Amino acid sequence: MAKSKFEYVRNFELDDTCLRNCYIVVRLDGRNFHKFSEQHNFMKPNDNRALGLMSRSARSVMEELEDITIAYGQSDEFSFVFKRSTTWFKRRASKLMTHVASQFSSSFVYYWKEYFGEHPLLYPPSFDGRVVLYPSNRNLRDYLSWRQADCHINNLYNTAFWTLVQKGGLTTTQAEERLSGTQAADKNEILFSEFNINYNNESPLHKKGTTLIWEKVNETTTKQIKRPDEVETEITVTRTRKKVTSHSCDIIGEQFWEEHPDILESDQC
């Protein structure tokens, strides 16, 4: 194929191929979601509609990019982990990040009505993204542990904060001052002694976030078949297929990883 004299401009493109044998993590964060949540009247401290929509959008990304082995989300963020052997988009960071961000954002808009009903989407949301490489299973697990620990810290604070406002009658400024300098035990004590709320009984979705993984599931359907005597008979058919499943559980300890050993690849190159 003949080339034009303008072809040289391709030399200005940077090589952003991700290092081999590393997990590629794409993390998305909602841009100005504090404002977005206020203008769309999200419930405080947690809006299950919004969390469900985030999870549905993430599932759409995983179904589109099957080399994503696990995804973890909380609040307005979601992290997507590409297996270390992936060759999608020739491992180009810009291609991976933009595809994940665009698929997630468009899914967020597409499925909005499914979760918010007639409550209108007032303006398009946007998500920024970054790409980080993790060379070992330990590094990757520590990253996911960091995000889940962050979920717990933020949710405990927000639960205490909005309880003081909604049930305690404090202004947001007063609630912020009340919680200033407090530790986790202090917040738990405020919730229990003043409002009879045991934080341990709060929803696992809010405390642990959402983990999405691929699992084999059995699906049973019925269909009509016509026998040689031309009599129709209904039979049951069971098929096994891979499906994205959602979990709100601890991913810091060992149990989750022992139950799902296929998520991580061997550290042996």
Query: Binding site for Mg(2+): what residues are annotated?
Result: 29-30, 76
HSE-CB at 71 with a 13 A cutoff on CA atoms is 30
**Side-by-side strand order, sheet with 127-134:** 127-134, 23-30, 77-82, 68-74, 210-226, 232-247
Q: How far is Cα 33 from Cα 28, in angstroms, rounded to an integer?
A: 12
Q: Which residues are annotated as a binding site for GTP?
A: 29-34, 75-76
CB proximity list for 53: less than 8 A, separation 6 or greater: 108, 111, 112, 114, 115, 116
Q: How far is Cα 138 from Cα 125, in angstroms, rounded to an integer?
A: 34
Query: For 157-169, b where at least 16 C-beta lie within 10 A, e where not — what string?
Result: bebbbbbbbeeee
Q: Which residues are annotated as a binding site?
A: 29-34, 75-76
Long-range residue pairs from 122-128, CB within 8 A, at least 24 positions apart, any chain = 122/39, 122/40, 123/39, 125/30, 125/31, 125/33, 125/36, 126/30, 126/31, 126/32, 127/28, 127/29, 127/30, 127/31, 127/101, 128/28, 128/29, 128/31, 128/101
Q: How far is Cα 262 from Cα 256, in angstroms, rounded to an integer?
A: 11
